[in-house]
Structure formats: C-alpha cells, structure tokens
Amino acid sequence: MLKDKIKDLGVKIHQSVVRDRRHIHMNPELSFEEKDTSAYIQSVLRDIGIPFTDGWAGHGVVGIIEGGNSDAAVIALRADMDALPIQEENAIEYKSRNPGVMHACGHDVHTSSLLGVARILHSLRKHYNGTVKLIFQPGEERMPGGASIMIEEGVLNNPAPKEILGQHVYPSLPAGHVGFRPGKYMASADEITITIKGRGGHGAVPQLTIDPIAISAQIISSLQMLVSRINDPTVPSVLTFGKIESQGGTYNVIPDTVELLGTFRTFDEAWRKKAHIRIREISEGIAGSFGAQCEVDIQVGYPFLVNDVDLTSHIMASAQEFLGSANVHELPIRMTAEDFSYYTHHVSGCFYRLGVASIDKSISSPVHTSTFDIDERALMTGPSLMAWLAISRLSALGG
C-alpha cells in the first residue's frame, strides 16, 4: 500500500531530515537575509533531482515535482525559512552559531520537513498523478511577509495550485501528534505606533506642562473600550500595548514626548478597518483635549488565516487514517498571526500543527523563547504525514 511505502520512507530518510534540520538550526538567518539557507535548500533539491527556481522574495525557492500525469491537478506545500533575533540558551551540539539569532519558531523544522517531503514524493512520483509545488518562503517573521511578496511575484501561477498546505511546530502536543482547526484559525495582526507630543517640565509644577505620560495613560485606558464596548463581542479581538517609551523624563521631570507601541488583532476585515479609524480618532481626540499633538501610524499586517472547512475536514480524516485518531486533535482559535494567511485568501488552504514536545526528554519550551527545541522524532511524522496528505489531496482533486 502507498501509505506503508510512505511510512517506510519516512523512517528511511529520518536521519537525512535530522541532518538538514540541525544544519539549518546551527546557521540561522533573519527575515529576508536567508541567503545561505536558500543555497542549502537548492543543493538538497539538486541532489534529489528536483527542478527549482530561486530568487523569490529575495531568497525564496520553488521546486516542482511532477507525478504520473502532471496535468491532473496541482497542490502547493509551503515552509518558511527565517529565524528570530534571539540568543539561544540551549546546551545542545547543534546550537546556533550566529550570535543573537535563533530558530526559535521552528522554521528549521518546517524547511527540513519539506525537504523530507520532497525526497518521499520524488521517489514515489510514478505512484500518483498531478504536480506538487514546493514553496520555501523567506521572511515570515517580518512585515510585509514573504508570502505577500511571493504571491505578487506569481508563486500561485504557472502552474496554479488548487490547494495549499502548511504545517507549524506546536509545543503543546507531543511528537507524533498533530492538530487542526477548520475555518478561521489565526488572527490578523497590525502594528500601531502612537506618538504624543506635549510640553515637558518640572514634575512639581505640572500645571506648566502638557504631560504626555498622563495623556498616554488616558489613551491606553480609553482604547480598551474599543474591544470591550465598540467591538461585536462575537468577533475575537485583542488590542495590546507592549511598549511605552518617553524621550527624556525621570523621577521629577515630565518629558516632551511619549511613544506607544502596540498590536491590534481580529478575525473580521470590516471591523479591522473600522477599528483603525477609531484608534486614530480616540487617540487624537484625547491628546487634543489636553492640548497635545498626536500622531498615529498603523502598519497593516497579515490578514486572518482561514482553513477551508471541506479541505481541512478531508485532511483531518486522512491524518487519522495515517496516524490513528488518538493522535489527531482539533485545536482552538489563536490570536497569533501567520503570513500563510495570505495564501488562504487566494486559494483553498489548510495550516495545521505538528507536535514537537517530549515529556520524557523535558522538551516543552514555547516558541519564540531562547530554550525552544523539539523532539526530533517529530521529523519522522512531519515529512511522512505531509507527503501522505499531498497525495491524498491530489487523488481527491482528480490526480
């Protein structure tokens, strides 16, 4: 059976996938700087015998695997390549060699897994019909996101996939398990910068100043009403300010200027646009009422991510067939964001989670932390499952 062949190949190539992952983990590169990572991916695809193009969004690579009847259907598989500006603290032999840069979000896992998928699907290409497009994408962690750029450059054309799949590490599940969420899954994400310009002075005579710190407090408190009273409570939304910074000021000195940095996240595009307007109106109104000036800059980020319901239902059933029902879970929505969302607004997509934790090995650190790591047994599940899902979908699409 094809399923058994895929499982056997998953075991056979496991050490190669581990080697790929450790090499990429040791040599992390920040968003849109993935030159060496791209070169490594190209060398592996070249060794396998898979044709590819490079230079997408800077350092992206797109490979093509043609099955028995390449015109039958096309499906795309995506992995991101970039790392984060974090100093790794793990005491492991494959620890990052680049100071202050680390694969703390598992993109090394995504990339090495997709290289494993490439090995499996290439070796089995006579056993299925259709074409698989492998998308190795740069810049997921940095706006505007490599996905948006690759789409603008035509990555969803020539050939045009009917569906796209992506996977992401998930430390809340052990290795060997996966999770899915049909429908809306991850939130949109926008970056907000609010600058309040007042008039500084001595803290003992505040009447002679226009205090931007006190005004900032009023703005932050009032903007929370945006979520609790203006928003429809059935639409998940989050407004968080993570940084308040003044230019000058100390115990007894009121500064001239304060800058607020925050993020707004939701699942509704109409409300998202309305919220941007209200954030500006509320901030400028409060600042103006106290005699201060206010500048609001909103960088529109990734849209919400929606998993096609029918596709995801089929994928979950296929995953249960491959891994067993006990190892496949339905997940709650998340207010985190992912630029895979761009693909899902152009083509039917499914973005699912790959368990990477291990209780017996004490591997459970969350992503975006300096101690994040994985149980490398997940590198057997990741490639083999995605290869199985790709072939299953090609068959369902008429491949």
Read off the pLDDT of residues 78-124 as tens digits, 9 standing for 90 and up: 999 999 999 999 999 999 999 999 999 999 999 999 999 999 999 99
The CATH fold assigned to 190-299 is Alpha-Beta Plaits (3.30.70)
- Residue 270: Cβ within 10 Å count: 9
Active site residues: 82, 140
Beta-strand (E) ranges in the chain? 52-56, 60-66, 74-80, 131-137, 163-174, 178-180, 183-186, 190-197, 201-202, 237-247, 253-254, 257-266, 293-299, 305-307, 328-330, 348-357
Q: How far is CA 122 from CA 35, 235, 279, in A?
A: 25, 43, 51
Q: In this prediction, what percent of the chain has a pLDDT beyond 90?
A: 96
The first and second tokens of residue 186, run together, are: 């991850």
Q: Taking 80 as the threshold, does the pLDDT of residue 39 lie above it?
A: yes
At 177 the pLDDT is: 98
Read off the pLDDT of residues 52-79 as tens digits, 9 standing for 90 and up: 999 999 999 999 999 988 678 999 999 9
Average model confidence (pLDDT) for the chain?
97
Region 185-191 average pLDDT:
98
Sheet with 237-247: list strands edge to edge.
Answer: 237-247, 257-266, 190-197, 293-299
Read off the pLDDT of residues 140-162 as tens digits, 9 standing for 90 and up: 999 999 999 999 999 999 999 99
Region 256-283 average pLDDT:
98
CATH label, 2-185+304-396, candidates 3.30.10.20, 3.90.70.10, 3.40.630.10, 3.30.70.1900: 3.40.630.10
At 359 the pLDDT is: 84
Same-fold call for 2-185+304-396 versus 190-299: no
Q: Domain segments of the chain: what residues?
A: 2-185+304-396, 190-299
At 164 the pLDDT is: 98
The span from the CA of 78 to the CA of 141, in Å, is: 15
